[in-house]
Amino acid sequence: MNLTYKPMKKYSLLLFDLDDTLLENSTWFDDGLAQTLAEHPLTKGMDEQQFLKKIKQPPRFLIDKLVRGELTTSEFKRERWKSALDSFDVKAKIEEINQLESLFLNASMNFITVDEYVLNLMNELTKHYEVGIVTNGLYDPQQKIINMGLGDVFGQDKIIHAEPLGIRKPDSRIYTIALEAFNKKPEETIFIGDSWTHDVVGPMEAGMEAIWVNFRGEEKPTDHTPYAMVTSIMEIRDILVSSSLSSSKGEEESYE
């Protein structure tokens, strides 16, 4: 674990990314896709790993169109399916793509289950902080949260979802919206996530601190220095609870 501590401050809000931070994508996306491919007549017998790679790494121009707002989320997902199928020389009708998407949604959500560690972690953190989620996820974050057993921790009013807003991380406006939703200042907030661009650079340039969940073991792409760098969400408990308790203790001593 590589930690870079800064002088203690009083933080009161933790904003989390969802996918690949609180929720591992492989626990739902990969398994859900495999089940979908095995069930639909159009994709039975396809190489699951190759298809997974294609659908997780769609053409850059599709991503750019989504980011610019030229494609809705539904249109992007449809085009992503089409592109992946094209790579296997399979031409699908729009009805078949819609069937695949529906199968995938139902299958994947069933693979999201309670993670006792994350549940216990969040229950402990909420004793010291307000918590929220800011996500670019393409699929309903509230349903994911409910399946994870975190519905009582993250109500609908605590989830900032890019899709209905029409803006996505790292657009500075989404961080402003999140802060306004919790009535917090940037300096009171720590953002926690796996994406250097979306969850570290974006929040830090908006005035927040950040914890980078670097589970991929990547090198820092820029000179930004986050509050801490960890390899797993499992490592943040000691940082955040210790920070909170140390800060609170300091405040109590200043009044003596």
What per-residue confidence (pLDDT) applies to 254? 26
- pTM for this model (two decimals): 0.89
Q: Give the torsion sign (CA, 174, 180, 185, 187).
A: negative
Residue 256: pLDDT over 50 = no
Residue 5: pLDDT over 80 = no
What per-residue confidence (pLDDT) applies to 16? 98
What per-residue confidence (pLDDT) applies to 241? 86
| pLDDT tens-place string over residues 75-113 | 999 999 999 999 999 999 999 999 999 999 999 999 999
What per-residue confidence (pLDDT) applies to 9? 61
What per-residue confidence (pLDDT) applies to 7? 41
| pLDDT tens-place string over residues 132-171 | 999 999 999 999 999 999 999 999 999 999 999 989 999 9
Can you tell me the distance from the alpha carbon of 62 to that of 2, in angstroms, rounded to the nearest whole number? 35
Residue 242: pLDDT over 90 = no
**Extents of the domains making up the chain:** 13-24+113-254, 29-110
What per-residue confidence (pLDDT) applies to 243? 55
| pLDDT tens-place string over residues 17-43 | 999 999 988 889 999 999 999 999 999
| pLDDT tens-place string over residues 169-219 | 999 999 999 999 999 999 999 999 999 999 999 999 999 999 999 999 999
Q: Are 162 and 136 in contact (CB under 8 A)?
A: yes
When the candidates are 3.10.580.10, 3.40.50.1000, 3.30.1360.120, 3.30.930.10, the CATH number that belongs to 13-24+113-254 is 3.40.50.1000
CB within 8 A of 65, min separation 6: which ones?
71, 76
**Which residue stretches of 130-211 are H helix?**
141-147, 162-165, 172-182, 202-205
Q: Which helix (H) or strand (E) holds 94?
A: helix 94-110
What per-residue confidence (pLDDT) applies to 244? 54
What per-residue confidence (pLDDT) applies to 27? 80
Q: Are 36 and 110 in contact (CB under 8 A)?
A: no
Q: Where does the chain show beta strands of DSSP type E? A: 13-16, 130-135, 159-161, 189-193, 209-213, 228-230
| pLDDT tens-place string over residues 40-70 | 999 999 999 999 999 999 999 999 999 888 9
Cα angle value 193/8/179 (rounded, 5°): 45
Cα-flanking dihedrals φ and ψ of residue 10, to 5°? -100, 105
What per-residue confidence (pLDDT) applies to 51? 96
Can you tell me the distance from the alpha carbon of 211 to that of 233, in angstroms, rounded to the nearest whole number? 10
What per-residue confidence (pLDDT) applies to 10? 84
What per-residue confidence (pLDDT) applies to 253? 32
Percent of the chain residues topping a pLDDT of 70: 91
